[in-house]
């Protein structure tokens, strides 16, 4: 009996081809879409194209580089762990222990410790990275699984604590283009509540009505996809089982829709604790259609 090929042929639009690049990147292709994962730069999606159109900022287009205040953050779609968003004053306190975190320009810690790390490949479409004990309360293992289908991209994060409990908040931070071939992005936020920000710009547990945009805020209670439409090009619906979605629309060239397992600064509020027998899992699905 002849065994099936390891990677299906790309001419079958129902199948997914997995192409290994000479630089360590991995590109998945199926139907109208392709996604490239760069495990040497935080296992980020360095490219995501639908119908031949790139939807993510690549950090090189001169029309979008104005948001590149930090090259570790401002392009593609990167993973945030063991915290997502900001941690107040770059200090995290849990069970009576306080640790100092890398400080961003605004004085807070931002977006975790793995966004620029080199991830280890587990199989064709999964990678892992270790969060060491000297950077967090206890070691954590983060696995990122990327699955491409003819009409959607599915991303999944799995966080385990092999040596003992530790708090964790994880998520994704994509930078979507606000303009493609002269067509402006239209972002539709379904009914939701917003977590009010304090004077330091940190989200609080207090829920308020959603104001008119622009936003750089955490939203809860979302039960339908956040919809991004480039008229005539593509519509992308972002679904997630994550309880929090941060939406950023304060810049003219890029917009962000960030599924997160908890709000910014969760470690200092009501942290989700990962234990050896209680992993954390969160996923998001990006489903596209012709606009």
pLDDT in tens, 81-96: 999 999 999 999 999 9
Please give the pLDDT value at position 4.
33
Arithmetic mean of pLDDT over the chain: 91
> Topology of domain 17-289, per CATH?
Beta-galactosidase; Chain A, domain 5 (2.70.98)
Answer whether residue 126 shows pLDDT above 50: yes
Model-level pTM greater than 0.75? yes
Answer whether residue 116 shows pLDDT above 80: yes
**Pair 124, 7: CB distance under 8 Å:** yes
d(Cα 224, Cα 237) in Å, to the nearest integer?
Answer: 9
Sheet holding 126-131, edge to edge: 120-123, 126-131, 140-148, 152-160, 280-289, 234-240, 226-230, 186-188
| Per-residue pLDDT band at 197 (split at 50, 70, 90) | very high
Spans of all domains in the chain: 17-289
Extract the tokens encoding 104. Answer: 């961003």
**Pair 259, 242: CB distance under 8 Å:** yes
Q: What is the mean pLDDT of residues 122-136?
A: 96
């Amino acid at each position: 009996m002849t065994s099936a090929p390891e990677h299906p042929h790309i001419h079958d639009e129902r199948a997914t081809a997995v192409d290994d690049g000479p630089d360590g990147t991995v590109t998945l292709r199926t139907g109208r879409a392709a996604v490239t994962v760069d495990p040497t730069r935080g296992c980020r999606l360095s490219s995501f194209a639908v119908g031949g159109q790139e939807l993510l900022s690549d950090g090189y287009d001169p029309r979008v580089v104005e948001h590149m205040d930090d090259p570790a953050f401002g392009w593609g779609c990167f993973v945030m762990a063991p915290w997502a968003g900001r941690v107040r004053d770059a200090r995290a306190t849990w069970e009576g222990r306080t640790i100092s975190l890398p400080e961003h320009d605004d004085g807070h810690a931002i977006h975790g410790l793995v966004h620029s790390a080199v991830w280890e490949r587990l199989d064709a479409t999964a990678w892992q990275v270790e969060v060491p004990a000297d950077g967090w309360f206890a070691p954590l293992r983060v696995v990122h699984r990327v699955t491409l289908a003819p009409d959607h991209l599915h991303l999944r994060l799995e966080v385990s604590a092999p040596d003992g409990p530790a708090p964790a908040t994880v998520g994704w931070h994509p930078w979507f283009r606000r303009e493609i071939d002269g067509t402006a992005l239209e972002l539709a936020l379904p009914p939701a509540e917003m977590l009010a920000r304090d004077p330091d710009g940190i989200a609080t547990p207090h829920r308020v009505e959603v104001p008119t945009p622009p936003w750089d805020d955490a939203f809860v209670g979302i039960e339908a996809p956040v919809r991004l439409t480039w008229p005539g090009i593509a519509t992308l619906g972002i679904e997630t089982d994550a309880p929090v979605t941060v939406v950023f629309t304060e810049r003219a060239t890029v917009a962000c829709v960030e599924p997160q397992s908890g709000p910014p600064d969760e470690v200092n509020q009501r942290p989700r604790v990962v234990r050896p027998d209680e992993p954390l899992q969160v996923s998001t699905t990006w489903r596209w259609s012709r606009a």
